[in-house]
Amino acid sequence: MHLNKILPLLLKWPGDLLKVPVSYAILNRSLVCASSAEKKRRKKKSWLSDGGDLSLEERLADTVTPLWRLSYEEQLQWKQEQQLKILLQMTNHLAQDSSLTSDKAELRFPVLPIVPSPVRDGYRNKSTFSVNKGVDGDPKTVGFYIGTGKGRNIVCIHGDHLLNMPSKHSLVGRCYEDFIRASPLKPCIMFHDGGHWREITVRTNSAGNTMAIVYFHPQNLSLEEIAVHKASLVQYFTKGPGTVCQLDSLYFQESTITRCSHEDSPYQLLYGEPHIYEEILGFKFRISADSFFQVNRSAAEALYMTVAELNKAGEKGTLLDVCCGTGAIGISLSPRLKKVIGIELIEQAIEDAKYNAALNGIQNCQFLSGKAEVVLPKLIPTMHSEGTLTAVMNPSRAGLHYRVIQALRNHPNIQRLIYISCKPEGEAMRNFRELCGKTDLKRKLIGEAFTPKLAVPVDMFPHTPHCELVLVLER
């Protein structure tokens, strides 16, 4: 049964059921346990083991996709258990921080069954491959590394066998490896050791289009010398052996720091189209070289459908989309809303969001560039929304800035928050406590506290321990 049929049934639980404490112990017992033999097998080959009896490929799989040995049903069971534990921890924190009353080992709101990913293997639409010393000792090996610098045991392994890796990404990575091995330039493994060739990022869409972004440390090369190597790169991927990759876009970025934005050093289009496009729930989205876009398209559709169902009470109202990225959530929900206002730090993402709205003929979306903690406190007091005002937020793992939390909590017209977190046990937990805890005059948290009403895990990352948690807070 499709999600759009399942969620309405789950969300139409009798009102009295929502008031009954949900015992974590009961929910935990309801999850099907693996057989004792299977437990022993998993314990023997746990991703937490030292890996002494495992091949390098198995060790890499245990690092990147730690749940790969479990069936998908077992993965979902494990993730459901983990989310319940995290939510129980949150509930206990709130019981200490506020006037909420809760017995230990009990949740006061329902947690719906985890929404599975429609696609489980090869789902990633973005992969970044490192360059480091391989098994054969060649420092121009492209893949994923295991080990540590401190342990002096780093080795780079090809990721072809990883269950979440599309074959097209592996192909581009292998071709890039062949190219840099034939290049006279050294790889840049440690900045202070010199070298030039760095990582490569591969982005694809459901239509099969492919974008590659090569990162390069210029060191002391002149512009003319760099131009020669850029031309060689284009030649390889457009007329040489790399044509097998069928690249639609080839970008090049000269970077002297680990994380370099487009503003720090512009992405240079060496060949092809400047963007690729993806379709989500019937809407078309433009993806730039550094745009944020959910790595699992099919699961992203499931996530946005979940958010839409959870915001039924806010339909025909205003949606405040904090950390909106390229506008995917707001645009996807826009037909159900009177207005959408999105805020995003990355200027290129805002340009993409505005373009995406125009591309889809959406006229009720407004996108603002800047830090949410700067824009939001100034924006919210000026908002006079018609209908319900709901805020949806999908921040990075660092969570929301304190000033954003302060603005959201202290504005009385915001009655519902939908918080999406890929790591709710991290900084998001701090956000939950600040939004739902007692009034704190010293920290200027003077607005009425929110209360958790419903949680829905969504599996965005099969074979890994991670999933998205959608938490509805109301007051």
Point out the residues that are catalytic: 422
CA distances in angstroms from 335 to 87, 372, 472, listed in the order given: 32, 25, 21
Strand 210-216 and strand 468-474: the pairing is: unpaired
Helices (H), 192-327: 223-238, 297-310
Q: What kind and span of H or E run contains 252?
A: strand 249-254
Q: Is 220 annotated as a binding residue?
A: no
Count the neighbouring beta carbons within 10 Å of the beta carbon of residue 358. 11
In 3D space, the residue among 19, 18, 40, 120 whose CA is nearest the CA of residue 76 turns out to be 120
Please calculate the CA angle 264-208-228 and round it to the nearest 5 degrees.
45
With contact defined as beta carbons under 8 Å apart, do 354 and 367 qualify?
Answer: yes
Count the neighbouring beta carbons within 10 Å of the beta carbon of residue 397. 11
Q: Is 294 annotated as a binding residue?
A: yes
Estimate to the nearest angstrom the gap between the alpha carbon of 323 and the chain centroid: 12
CA distances in angstroms from 229 to 55, 236, 253, listed in the order given: 36, 10, 13
Question: What is the DSSP code string of 136-174?
Answer: TS-S-EEEEEES-TTTT--EEE--TT-TT--HHHHHHHH
Question: Of how many residues is the chain composed?
Answer: 475
Phi-psi region of 39 (alpha: psi -120 to 50; beta: other; left: phi over 0): alpha
- Does residue 250 sit in helix, strand or coil? strand
With contact defined as beta carbons under 8 Å apart, do 345 and 371 qualify?
Answer: yes
Amino acid identity at 249: S
Q: Is 209 annotated as a binding residue?
A: no
User: Binding site residues, as ranges?
Assistant: 294, 344, 394
Query: Which residues belong to the annotated binding site for S-adenosyl-L-methionine?
Result: 294, 344, 394
